[in-house]
Amino acid sequence: MKALRIHEFGTPSHTILEDIAPATAGPDEVTVRIEAASVNPLDLKMLAGHMQPVFPVSFPYTLGTDFAGVVETLGANVRGFQPGDRVVGRAGASTGGAFAQTAVVPANSLCRIPASMSFEQAAALPTSAGTAWQALFGVGKLVAGQRVLIHAAAGGVGSFAVQFAKQAGARVIVTASSKNHGLAKELGADEVIDYRHEDFSARLRDLDLVIDPLGGDTAGRSWSVLKPGGTLVSLVDPTIAPRGDVNAAFVFFQGDTEVLQGITKLFEARRLQVILDSIHPLDDARVALEQVASGHARGKVIIRASR
Ligand SMILES: NC(=O)c1ccc[n+]([C@@H]2O[C@H](COP(=O)([O-])OP(=O)(O)OC[C@H]3O[C@@H](n4cnc5c(N)ncnc54)[C@H](OP(=O)(O)O)[C@@H]3O)[C@@H](O)[C@H]2O)c1
């Protein structure tokens, strides 16, 4: 089978599409024929070697965590799945393996995909939608009637977070460049700020929650828009700590199949849009990685595991 691997840390140009022998499923594992995978900024951080202290890897390492596909074979202890089932799941970052034609994964990391959902749409979900959910409700404790600022609303995490926050009954304010204002409004944003031409911190005050996938200067200016008791949730700064009477917390995304299954049900009920930036064959996986590295993907970048 084909797998996108690295033998050293580096950039997308260091990835190599190699022909390797597929692994065999252990007793609690499932072999999945991967149909689609999605690219996350995490994949680039793994590729660069920046995540070694948190998610150590050994070489050769097959990139990719988020995938969707079809169950091929089951380990002896696996119950609840059949060959042919359409599934979505997330491999651990240290294990990787999603940017390949097949993957062996723990059965308990999988969820079934509704018939109305494509493999590309399913593959977009695990990390981005899961993190959006965890940031808003797990860490941010968002409830109806609150006001939330979501930075980078057009990105992988942001495009889901806007929809979840709106459906939870919050007033949703977002930042995005002007080309993405229509998209942000369509997803449910009540107010859109063009971060290239306006300083959000000059307009906003007394918010309950800020979701920050950017850090740096954006994080620095986010404190002043929060009310006493409000919370700044960072996706990028593990050292963030409360300041004065404003709370702060880092999201360390943990895959949760119950949450993921719930998100697929929202889609099935036509209450969730999955925004796909672009779809690339596995042979062009480097292009997909470069697109995410640009920092301006619109929704999710997908790799199609063509055969
Ligand atoms: N801690 C965790 O567990 C965890 C989990 C998931 C993700 N993350 C991290 O969260 C970050 C975001 O992930 P993602 O998948 O959402 O990234 P992404 O999809 O690559 O984000 C791209 C988006 O960012 C927007 N953007 C860029 N600069 C901006 C700015 N200054 N202000 C507002 N928007 C801006 C772009 O919109 P425009 O084109 O309109 O500029 C683009 O749509 C990454 O660093 C990722 O590693 C952390």
Ligand 1 geometric centre to CA of 155 (Å): 5
What are 92's two structure tokens? 């651990």
- Contact between 180 and 204 (Cβ < 8 Å): no
Average pLDDT over residues 111-136: 98
Pocket of ligand 1 (CB under 6 A): 40-42, 127-128, 131, 151-152, 154-158, 175-177, 180, 195, 213-214, 218, 235-236, 251-253, 292, 295-298
Whether residues 182 and 240 share a domain: the answer is yes
Residue 226 pLDDT: 98
Atom of ligand 1 nearest to the CA of 127: 6
Whether residues 141 and 240 share a domain: the answer is yes
CATH of the domain at 72: 3.90.180.10
Whether residues 185 and 297 share a domain: the answer is no
> Does a structural domain hold residue 261?
no
What are 276's two structure tokens? 């796909």
Using CA of residue 297, residue 299, residue 305, residue 306, what is the dihedral sign?
negative
Whether residues 157 and 194 share a domain: the answer is yes
Whether residues 175 and 65 share a domain: the answer is no
Average pLDDT over residues 14-24: 96
> Does a structural domain hold residue 8?
yes
Whether residues 64 and 101 share a domain: the answer is yes
> Does a structural domain hold residue 257?
no
> Does a structural domain hold residue 258?
no
Q: Whose C-alpha lies nearest to ligand 1, atom 22?
A: 155
Answer with the one of 250, 267, 293 that is the final residue of a domain.
250
Ligand 1 geometric centre to CA of 14 (Å): 23
Q: Whose C-alpha lies nearest to ligand 1, atom 48?
A: 235
Using CA of residue 290, residue 293, residue 299, residue 305, what is the dihedral sign?
positive
CATH of the domain at 195: 3.40.50.720
What count of other Cβ atoms lies within 10 Å of the Cβ of residue 276? 20
Q: Using the predicted structure, report yes or no on whether residue 307 has a pLDDT greater than 80.
A: no
- Contact between 234 and 250 (Cβ < 8 Å): yes
Ligand 1 geometric centre to CA of 296 (Å): 8
For 139-164, b where at least 16 C-beta lie within 10 A, e where not — what string?
bbebeeebbbbbbbbbbbbbbbbbbb
Residue 61 pLDDT: 98
Pick the closest to residue 236 from 148, 124, 157, 133 (CA basis): 157
pLDDT tens-digit profile of 24-69? 999 999 999 999 999 999 999 999 999 999 999 999 999 999 999 9
How far is it, in rounded angstroms, from Cα 233 to Cα 130?
15
The total number of structural domains that make up the chain: 2
Mutate to test the pocket of ligand 1, among 40, 196, 234, 239 (most ligand atoms within 8 A of CB): 40
pLDDT-derived band at 306, boundaries 50, 70, 90: confident
Whether residues 132 and 245 share a domain: the answer is yes
Q: Whose C-alpha lies nearest to ligand 1, atom 32?
A: 152
pLDDT tens-digit profile of 83-95? 999 999 999 999 9
Whether residues 131 and 181 share a domain: the answer is yes
Average pLDDT over residues 147-169: 98
Whether residues 148 and 221 share a domain: the answer is yes
Q: Whose C-alpha lies nearest to ligand 1, atom 12?
A: 213
Q: Which structural domain range is residue 290 located in? A: 2-125+275-304
Q: Whose C-alpha lies nearest to ligand 1, atom 4?
A: 235
List beta partners, residue 243. 246
Residue 190 pLDDT: 98
Average pLDDT over residues 194-211: 98
> Does a structural domain hold residue 255?
no
